[in-house]
């Protein structure tokens, strides 16, 4: 069963780990919604759906034709993501009454892990960095890509609707874009005088915007300086549907963990390790789409 990090944290009795997961999730709209499948082994081999089966009307006595969906076998490997956090023993002993130093240091490391995941989630490319996993920009196929034009163009609501419609069988669960693009969308909505963009508070008490009922997320690793034709100031918007039959994260047993390495020999400090065996799997091509060439 696939669980989000927030749901998985409820199964843990480790207070430090719960704090780490809260830090990671609260800063990432992707990790708030992306479910993770826990797997045993170093990867998952699965069948990615390419085309659905078809049906037809037949006359009495006619020959029926068989139609089955087509699949591509894909293997998604778990990658090692994490970092070490050293807690100075002297500071921990003398200042612990002011601040829980261990928790503060680990929280900063957890934020670094979250930012690295958010970067790889968008831009990951095993052809460039074999230690990473392929992100959604690489996973999106050509047939699921909409374009603002040969040289890009400013965003329109019609193009955004086209992006949403590329995700088949239900609406996307998230629209992911840069901050600049979100400002452009807000300006479009105000100019149109429509109620397409609305705001509500999420479980963390933060305001979340929705476009036609689809949550809008911001990822700071979506570039606003991509080259499309003659334009070098282009960005991309992604539409995603999450789940075991759509886009899902992969995680090793135990998920995100905090490991106590212990006292260090070379300095007066103890080391903690924030560690995650993690990957990404797209079970169906039609659950992910992108709009390229979005100019300011």
The pLDDT assigned to 134 comes to 96
CB atoms within 10 A of CB 280: 22
Q: Is the model's pLDDT at 222 over the cut of 80?
A: yes
Domain that holds residue 206: 141-242+286-295
Q: Are residues 102 and 235 in the same domain?
A: no
According to DSSP, the residues that pair with 276 across neighbouring strands are 81
Q: Give the least confident one: 2-6, 162-166, 209-213, 250-254.
A: 2-6
204: pLDDT strictly greater than 80 = no
**Residue 64, in any domain of the structure:** no
pLDDT value at residue 97: 58
What CATH number has the domain bearing residue 86? 3.30.2400.20
25 and 99 housed in the same domain: yes
* Within a domain: 57: no
Question: What confidence category does residue 1 fall into, taking pLDDT thresholds of 50, 70 and 90?
Answer: low
50-59 long-range contacts (CB < 8 A, ≥24 apart) are 50/285
278/291 same-domain check: no
Residue 21 has pLDDT above 50, yes or no: yes
Average of pLDDT values for 261-288? 90
- Are 119 and 250 found together in one domain? yes
- Residue 224 located in a structural domain: yes
- As beta bridge partners, residue 43 has 77
What was the pLDDT predicted at 98?
A: 47
Query: Is residue 107 domain-shared with residue 24, that is, in the same domain?
Result: yes
CATH number of residue 224's parent domain:
3.30.1930.10
> Angle 101-123/15-26 helices, nearest 10 degrees?
40
**Residue 187 CB neighbours (<10 A):** 12
Is residue 62 domain-resident? no
Residue 8 has a pLDDT of 63
- Mean pLDDT check: name the lowest of 65-74, 92-101, 132-141, 161-170: 92-101
- Number of structural domains found in the chain: 2
Strand extents, DSSP E, the chain = 36-38, 43-51, 70-77, 79-88, 145-147, 153-154, 174-177, 197-201, 207-211, 214-218, 226-228, 231-240, 247-251, 257-263, 269-282, 288-295
Residues 251 and 129 in one domain: yes
**Bridge partner residues of 197 (DSSP):** 211
The answer to whether residues 39 and 74 belong to one domain is yes
If DSSP codes are grouped into helix, strand and coil, which group holds residue 224? coil
Q: How many CB atoms lie within 10 A of CB 261?
A: 12
The per-residue pLDDT of the chain, averaged, comes to 87
Residues 94 and 173 in one domain: no
């Amino acid at each position: 069963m696939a669980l989000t990090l927030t749901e998985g944290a409820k199964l843990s009795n480790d207070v430090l780990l719960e704090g780490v997961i809260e830090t990671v999730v609260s800063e990432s709209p992707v990790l708030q919604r992306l479910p993770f499948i826990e797997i045993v082994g170093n990867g998952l081999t699965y069948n990615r759906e390419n085309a659905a089966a078809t049906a037809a009307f037949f006359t009495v006595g006619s020959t029926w034709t068989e139609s089955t969906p087509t699949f591509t076998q894909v293997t998604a490997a778990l990658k090692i993501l994490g970092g070490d956090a050293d807690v100075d023993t002297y500071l921990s002993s003398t200042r612990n009454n002011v601040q829980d130093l261990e928790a503060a240091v680990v929280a900063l490391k957890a934020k670094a892990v979250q930012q690295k995941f958010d970067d790889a989630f968008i831009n990951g490319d095993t052809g460039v960095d074999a230690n990473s996993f392929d992100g959604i920009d690489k996973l999106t196929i050509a047939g699921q890509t909409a374009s603002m034009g040969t040289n890009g163009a400013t965003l329109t609501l019609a193009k955004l609707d086209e992006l949403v419609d590329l995700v088949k069988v239900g609406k996307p669960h998230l629209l992911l874009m840069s901050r600049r693009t979100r400002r452009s969308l807000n300006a479009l909505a105000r100019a149109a005088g429509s109620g397409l963009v609305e705001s509500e508070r999420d479980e963390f008490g933060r305001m979340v915007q929705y476009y036609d009922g689809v949550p809008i997320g911001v990822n700071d690793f979506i570039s606003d300086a991509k080259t499309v034709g003659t334009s070098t100031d282009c960005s991309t918007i992604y539409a995603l549907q999450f789940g075991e039959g759509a886009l899902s994260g992969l995680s090793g047993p135990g998920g995100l963990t905090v490991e106590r390495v212990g006292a260090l020999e070379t300095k007066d400090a103890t080391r903690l390790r924030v560690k995650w065996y993690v990957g990404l799997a797209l079970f169906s091509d039609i659950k992910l789409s992108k709009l390229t060439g979005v100019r300011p």
